[in-house]
Amino acid sequence: MAIPAIAPYPMPGPQELPANRVTWTPDPQRALLLIHDMQNYFVEAFPQNTAPISDAIARITELRETAWRLDVPVVYSAQPGGQTTSQRGLLQDFWGPGIGPGRHGQDIIPALTPGPSDIRLVKWRYSAFHRTELRDILTKTGRDQLIVTGVYAHIGCLMTVCEAFMGDVQAFLVSDAVADFSAEHHRMALKYAADRCATVLPALEIIEALARSDDSTPASEGPTQDHEPIAIESP
């Protein structure tokens, strides 16, 4: 029931990505960046310092730096440790007890330690929307686009972009800023998202699109939302 051992695999390149059915473009005035479950417990299942996780961390770092520069809100989802059987619900049947009660497993990896203005979200199920404040955060910050990064692509990341779509939020699944159990799972997540609920793009294209939109926006029309008061305690 535990997370399986994950073998290294190469990130899919731009030429390997599925065709998108929609032509949504990320906009720094509309987007929110989600860094999904990049906790030690989940990230340490990967062989370190090699693809895919090393690439994903590097791309997430670049996206986060761009978000900070362009005043795009950054939200971290993180599952709490030491959950009771009642709190785990059916997750217990599939994955066992999950993260233990110690801090290490619960913490975001050091390379992606949240900044002082980043929002921390306690997450309970696959989707980052389920039983969380993510919907309220989007509303309060005036955002209707969600850029999704993190782990695991075919589980929480995919469920989150699906739920974003069902709530009329344009979702972007970043092909090289997510990682998964295997190349096959990774490709499946990208294909389903592109076919049914999201735009799939590599990090470089997301960054370039955000920068272009920012350059074309008069300073008087820039983001004015102060999202710091929305910050939620991490688990």
55 catalytic residue (yes or no) = no
Using CA atoms, how far residue 97 sits from 83, 86, 105, 181, in Å, is 7, 11, 13, 19
Which residue from 67, 157, 54, 70 is spatially nearest to 111, judged by alpha carbons? 54
Which of 37, 118, 176, 214 is an active site residue? 37
Count of residues making up the chain? 235
Measured over the CA atoms of residue 177, residue 54, residue 154 and residue 138, the dihedral's sign is: negative
Catalytic residues: 37
